[in-house]
Amino acid sequence: MAILAKGGCRCDVNPVRYEYSATPAEVHYCLCTDCTDTCGGALALIAVVERSAFKITAGEDKIRNFDTKPTCHRRFCKDCGCHMFLYVDAFPDHLLIHIPTLDRDAEVGAQPDRWVFVNSKHPMLTIPEDGLPRHPGWANSGDPVQAA
């Protein structure tokens, strides 16, 4: 399925803009402390996208990096602080996109299939009874993306 999902940072002037043009390998909810503490949110909604289908279309000079682990490289805008996506060494062919930084009318291309790192859940968050599998740490969805 051909899709084109576009997103970016929160800057009004010269925003970072990115897009991807392939159906994500998977979408999941992440409750790890790296994601939640970096975003200031109780959960992260992640699309795993092939790097070859992803490109930055504007504002690349504003992107900075913060490693929450030596193997986990998080990209954010230096002006507005928006954390848009990250690269994980264990997934050399994919990157992980924070879905809320997509435009709200963007076609993400897949639905969440599981919760991961539920052992790291913030105590004020209640996971909804959505019937999706809940994994204590990282877990594969059975697709080409391998476990860290």
For position 30 contacting Zn ion by CB under 5 A, the verdict is yes
CA angle 47, 16, 138 (to 5 degrees): 25
Q: How far apart are the first and last CA of the chain?
A: 27
Binds Zn ion (CB under 5 A): choice among 3, 11, 42, 56: 11
Residue 32 touches Zn ion, criterion: CB under 5 A: yes
C-alpha–C-alpha distance, residues 8 and 132, integer Å: 28
Residue whose CB is less far from Zn ion, 109 or 121 = 121
Tell me, by CB under 5 A, how many residues bind Zn ion: 8
Comparison of 35 and 48: residue with beta carbon closer to Zn ion: 35
- Residue 95 found at the interface with Zn ion (CB under 5 A): no
* Minimum distance of Zn ion from residue 122's CB (angstroms): 12
Site membership for Zn ion, residue 80 (CB under 5 A): yes
84 interacts with Zn ion by CB under 5 A? no
Bridge partner residues of 7 (DSSP): 18, 102
**Spatial strand order in the sheet of 54-58:** 5-8, 17-20, 54-58
Decide if residue 27 touches Zn ion (CB under 5 A).
Answer: no
* 26-30/115-116 β-pairing: parallel
Q: Select the residue interacting with Zn ion from 6, 22, 63, 79 (CB under 5 A).
A: 79
Distance CA 140, CA 146 (A): 6
In this complex, which beta carbon is closest to Zn ion, that of residue 77 or of residue 97?
A: 77
Looking at the Cβ atoms of 22 and 63, the one nearer to Zn ion is 63
Residue 46 CB neighbours (<10 A)? 22
Q: Where do contacts with Zn ion occur on this chain (CB under 5 A)?
A: 9, 11, 30, 32, 35, 77, 79-80
